[in-house]
Amino acid sequence: MPNLSTEAIFILVKSLERGEKRNFKLYVKRNSASADLKTIQLFDALDKMKVYDEEELLRKNESISKQQLSNLKAHLYDQVLSSLRVVKQSENIDLQIHEQLDHAKILYNKGLYIQSLRVLEKIKTLTKQNNQVTYLLQVLFLEKKIEALHITRSMQDRAKQLSEEIDEVNARLDDIAKISNLSLQLYGWYIQHGHARNEEDRLALDSLMHDPIMEKVKSSVGFYEKMYQYQCYCWYGFITQDFLMHYRYAQKWVDLFDANENMKLIETAQYIKGLHNLITSHFDLRSFDKLNETIAILENYSNTPIVLNNKNNLIQSFIYLYIAKINKHFFEGSFSEGLAMIPAMEAKLKEIELYLDSHRILVFYYKIACLYFGAGKPAKAIDYLNRIINWKLNLRDDLQCYARLLHLIAHYEMGNTEVVNYLSKSVYRFMYKMKSLSTVEEVMFNFLRKSIQNGGEENSLLNSKAAIKKSFTVLLETLQPLTTNKLESRAFMYLDIISWLESKIQGKQVQAIIKEKFLASKI
């Protein structure tokens, strides 16, 4: 888990690539004041440290006093960001626009109004070509300021035209703000709760989707209005398990970027996330060929310069690519083969842990646990599930609940009768408190309770093989009809209980059952 109390300047320095470090030193040495030399000394000290330790830092750098350190860190932080701005300017349209705006303001302050207006006109073209509406408003406000204070004679009816342009941009910004807020609320609901648990959840989500902005933006042709609209439908479909809706709008999301190639350079992370949602929708709809095809698109895109040269994009593509590959193993029933990815994946997670949010780490732990469980290694699954259970965060109630349920089933697999007996009560209470007890979970808990025999000489969970098979068969027949109920099928998304029961009945590993189903679907 990342140490959120770690000094910001330490994290920033550690995030720098070799070329960025070299550029920083060149940037600072242009002005070789004594303070800047100490700044470089502090930079080198932080760069050598593996973890931030202020006492060690001061002990090894005696020329830096404790009283100076706070100001030096603040100065270093500003210097690093300034040096990065120079390097990254050509890669970011917003930095380019910002620089041109600065130029326009400098020209205005020097009294060169006409030249300032010419620069602003160029910026307007740039903002419109790249859908940068917020910068367009800043341009219009500076234009209005110049026209209001000075007689430029730049255009007849300029006041009226500027007023109309500003009203139009303000209206667009208002729409974008409202639709993006709604998208964020829906995504935030998912991060907190996961998939809809009951009718109450569905009504709450429906209430969000009835926001008037959803109807208003339907006729909009703006890029951001469309993107956030598609995201809203995407989140709603995913959360309520309407996988066709999720697929349709994930595809629209990706198609929007394909129709606006320049936006892939500006909103790269959003494009990557769109591909992730499209991959997830193919997985949920069991569209294996489409799943492979879209994974290939993401993998190819992750090797392009726009991703490789941007740490945020690189981390995003890594996360979604590995999640996609794990899901592919779940799809194929190739759990044991999937275990080969774990060492490299964990090494990468360790490398980027300072940049990962807690939600992503929880998802990885759960998926790794499922890989081990499916591969017939319940003890290893328990190790990863314990990381989730012991992580005291008010996040992803669904993962917290199903991690505990899988943890219980893994102990059941290992024949840990006393542990199952103890855990079943605490897990039941936890899921009840989190409002996550559906009919599926109730049936599972009843089964596990009835299965435990307190007095068996061999500490077995059931009396005989015949009784085991019969009890699992009855449970399978009880749960099978619930797989088509959207509110009940939530449980089957987190745990493939049906395949687990079939494996117990047939005396096979879970992955063997899933692989047989996969191969049968390909015929």
- SS3 labels along 307-345: HHCCHHHHHHHHHHHHHHHHHHHHHHCCHHHHHHHHHHH
Amino acid at 190: Y
Mean pLDDT of 104-121: 91
Last residue of some domain: 53, 68, 90?
90
The whole domain housing 104 covers 92-151
List, for residues 415-470, the tens digit of each pLDDT value. Answer: 888 888 888 888 888 877 777 677 887 888 778 777 765 333 344 444 566 777 88
Whether 18 and 81 map to the same domain: the answer is yes
Query: Considering only CA atoms, which of 59, 47, 61 is closest in space to residue 10?
Result: 47
pLDDT (0 to 100) of residue 454? 38
pLDDT (0 to 100) of residue 334? 94
Query: Considering only CA atoms, which of 281, 196, 178, 276 is closest in space to residue 232?
Result: 178
> Is 475 a residue whose pLDDT tops 50?
yes
Q: What share of the chain is helix, strand, coil (3-state, %, to 5)?
A: 80, 0, 20
> Is 224 a residue whose pLDDT tops 90?
yes
List, for residues 456-474, the tens digit of each pLDDT value. Answer: 334 444 456 677 788 888 8
In a domain, 309, yes or no: no
Mean pLDDT of 235-261: 96
Contact (Cβ atoms closer than 8 angstroms) between residue 273 and residue 316: yes
pLDDT (0 to 100) of residue 32? 59
Whether 29 and 40 map to the same domain: the answer is yes
Query: Considering only CA atoms, which of 9, 11, 5, 74 is closest in space to residue 355?
Result: 11
In a domain, 379, yes or no: no
> Is 486 a residue whose pLDDT tops 80?
no
Average per-residue pLDDT for the chain = 86
Whether 96 and 137 map to the same domain: the answer is yes
List, for residues 282-337, the tens digit of each pLDDT value. Answer: 999 999 999 999 999 999 999 999 999 888 899 999 999 999 999 999 999 999 99
Region of 396 (left: φ > 0; alpha: ψ -120 to 50; beta: rest) is: left
Going by pLDDT thresholds of 50, 70 and 90, the confidence category of residue 243 is very high
Contact (Cβ atoms closer than 8 angstroms) between residue 499 and residue 513: yes
Higher confidence at residue 409 or residue 151?
409
Whether 15 and 84 map to the same domain: the answer is yes
In a domain, 477, yes or no: no
In a domain, 86, yes or no: yes
Distance CA 117, CA 98 (A): 15
Mean pLDDT of 201-213: 94
Whether 69 and 108 map to the same domain: the answer is no
Mean pLDDT of 172-195: 93
Going by pLDDT thresholds of 50, 70 and 90, the confidence category of residue 197 is confident
Angle at the Cα of 405 from the Cα atoms of 402 and 407, rounded to 5 degrees: 110
pLDDT (0 to 100) of residue 462? 44
List, for residues 79-91, the tens digit of each pLDDT value. Answer: 899 888 887 766 7
In a domain, 128, yes or no: yes
pLDDT (0 to 100) of residue 1? 40
The total domain count for the chain is 2
Sign of CA dihedral 316, 319, 320, 325: positive
